[in-house]
Amino acid sequence: MTCNLVRARLFEYLDGELPGEQRPAVDDHLRTCLECQHALELEQAFREIYMVPLRPDQTPDAVRGRVAHLVVGLTESRRARWARRFRRRPIVSAAVAALVLAVSASTLVLTSARREASASLLRLADASVEQHQKLARGLLPFDIARMSPREAEQWFGNKLDFNVRLPELKDENLTFLGGRISHLRDIDVAALEYRVDEKNVTLFIMPAEQYRKLGLLSEPKFKMVNRQGYDVIVWSAHGAAYALVSEIGGRSCAVCHSAEEKLDVTLTPQAHGAR
Amino acid sequence: MDAPADFRELALKYTDSLYNYARILTRSETEAEDLLQETLLRAYRGRSSLDPELNPKAWLLKIMKHSHIDRCRRKLARPIEAELPEEATDSSLPLNPEEILLRRLAIEDVRNAIRRLPSVWREAVELRDIEGLSYQEIAHVIDKPIGTVMSRLYRGRNLLRSFLQGHHAIEPRRARDL
């Protein structure tokens, strides 16, 4: 493949849209051609610096609240009908309202706190999935590669001000591809990319304080959610917080656990005792 | 998708993307919120048409685009569709962004440069580079073949680079041109 052909395909290559049979040829060319490698890096830098900041911001709370109100109104028509009936009978309505208030007041604070914790967890999971997709598609270059876990720990230790401990490579089907300092919800984190059974798995390590801010219950230890088809497991240990993103269910456990450990690899919520 | 709870989850999950795209289309926070609400109403009414094979975000963005066009028509201000040749590929190579990186532009300059793009190229760039849709999903939103998506994206990105290199002045278009 010639340089011109590779440059002409650069957008599709970085978009992850190059037909499968053409990708290896571009990969081969990029390994040997410094000029095309440079062009690729410039394009990646351009996207990272100028395009990524244009990605959607969080919707203002007031707008989000009104949207939630609208959606609830649309989808809970039966409840709305009941509310309308009660509005026509003020005495009954007042009695029911008093009863509902009495029952719900005691649980309101707790429910609200749990809802916020759940929303925080989902926001973290969404940000992790987005970064994982970029890493898996090669849109974000690695800062380090071909290092042992201990060397990588030392490298991150010099760059980040929290405890970064990498798991040992306990499984022969597990390969450490590389790592970089990434940004998850404006926080500098260590992003580590692994290959397990021909699929990419990303482990994010972040300050323990980020985990505390989620406001989650202490049990179960491993919180797990599925976002956009990816399993995201979040937990805290060794003075840091972790988020593991994969699309291979329980096989991603190989990043932290050896094959000898008897794990339930079906990755149901029960596998890690998550709720 | 028939369960109201599924729709609720879908709508709240994509609120950020939808609101952002609504702001891009309307250039107004107030109108963006109106457009977002109208989109969700239409989506809820038409939820049985959601193809389970399709990314729901692309489905919602397409509804938003059509809602926006209808709103513009109601105001007798149809969105301007530039008439541009639809060649499948472009013989020129992507412009090297090195010079742009050295210019250390502000993000607002980039936004203004995107606004200067012809509408059909701008739409492709926004849906891919800001909303993160795949080529297939963009093809669904704009009702065009993937070849057209690739051509528009290629040309839009190259013209954007040309603007950012300073070969053209980066100024927002007048409101009627947006």
Task: Specify the pLDDT at position A81.
Answer: 53
Q: Report the run of H or E that residue A246 belongs to, with start and end.
A: strand A240-246
Task: Specify the pLDDT at position B126.
Answer: 92
Q: Compare all CA atoms of chain B with the CA of A229 and give the residue at the minimum distance.
A: B55
Alpha-carbon Rg of chain B, whole angstroms? 17
User: Is B77's pLDDT higher than 90?
Assistant: no
Chain B residue numbers touching A64 (CB-CB < 8 A): 15
pLDDT band at A75 (very low <50, low <70, confident <90, very high): confident
Alpha-carbon Rg of chain A, whole angstroms? 24
Q: Is A180 left (phi over 0), alpha (psi -120 to 50) or beta?
A: beta
Specify the residue for token string 């351009």: A46
Task: Specify the pLDDT at position A56.
Answer: 77
**Alpha helices, DSSP H only, in A143-182?**
149-159
Task: Specify the pLDDT at position B1.
Answer: 61
User: Is A85's pLDDT higher than 60?
Assistant: no
B12·A56 Cβ contact <8 A: no
Number of Cβ within 10 Å of residue A90's Cβ equals 10
pLDDT band at A177 (very low <50, low <70, confident <90, very high): confident
Fill in the amino acid letter for A95: A
Mean pLDDT of A3-32: 90
Task: Specify the pLDDT at position A273.
Answer: 42
Task: Specify the pLDDT at position A170.
Answer: 67
Mean pLDDT of B74-98: 59
Give the residue from A42, A9, A185 showing the smallest Cα distance to B96.
A42
Chain A residue numbers touching B15 (CB-CB < 8 A): 59, 64, 67
CA angle A250, A252, A254 (to 5 degrees): 100
Q: Report the run of H or E that residue A206 belongs to, with start and end.
A: strand A199-207
Q: How much is the ipTM here? A: 0.74
User: Is A126's pLDDT higher than 70?
Assistant: yes
Test mutation, B6, B15, B23, B40, chain A, max A CBs within 10 A: B15
User: Is B93's pLDDT higher than 80?
Assistant: no
pTM for the model: 0.51
pLDDT tens digits for B111-138? 889 989 998 999 999 999 998 889 998 9
Q: What is residue A200's three-state secondary structure?
A: strand
Whole-angstrom Cα distance, residue A144 to residue A180? 6
Specify the residue for token string 């598609």: A137
B19 to chain A, closest Cα gap in Å? 7
Contacts of A173 (CB under 8 A, 6+ apart): A196, A197, A254, A259
Inter-chain Cβ pairs, chain A and chain B, closer than 8 A: 100
Residue A94, burial from CB neighbour count under 10 angstroms (0-12, 13-18, 19+): exposed
User: Is B50's pLDDT higher than 80?
Assistant: yes
**Chain Cα centroid distance, residue A75:** 28
pLDDT band at A258 (very low <50, low <70, confident <90, very high): low
Give the residue from A221, A213, A137 showing the smallest Cα distance to A177.
A137
A147 to chain B, closest Cα gap in Å? 30
Sequence-separated contacts (24+) of B74-82 with Cβ below 8 Å: B77/B176, B79/B119, B80/B119, B80/B177, B81/B119, B81/B120, B82/B118, B82/B119, B82/B120, B82/B121
User: Is A35's pLDDT higher than 70?
Assistant: yes
pLDDT band at A77 (very low <50, low <70, confident <90, very high): low
For chain B, the residues whose C-beta falls within 8 A of a C-beta of chain A are: 4-5, 7-8, 11-12, 15-17, 19-21, 33, 36-37, 40-41, 44, 89, 93-94, 96-98, 100-101, 105, 107, 110-111, 114, 128-132, 134-135, 150, 153-154, 157, 161, 164
Give the residue from B38, B83, B45, B84 showing the smallest Cα distance to B64.
B38
How much of chain A exceeds pLDDT 70, in percent?
74
Give the residue from A187, A192, A167, A178 showing the smallest Cα distance to A253.
A167
Give the residue from B176, B169, B172 showing the smallest Cα distance to B75.
B176
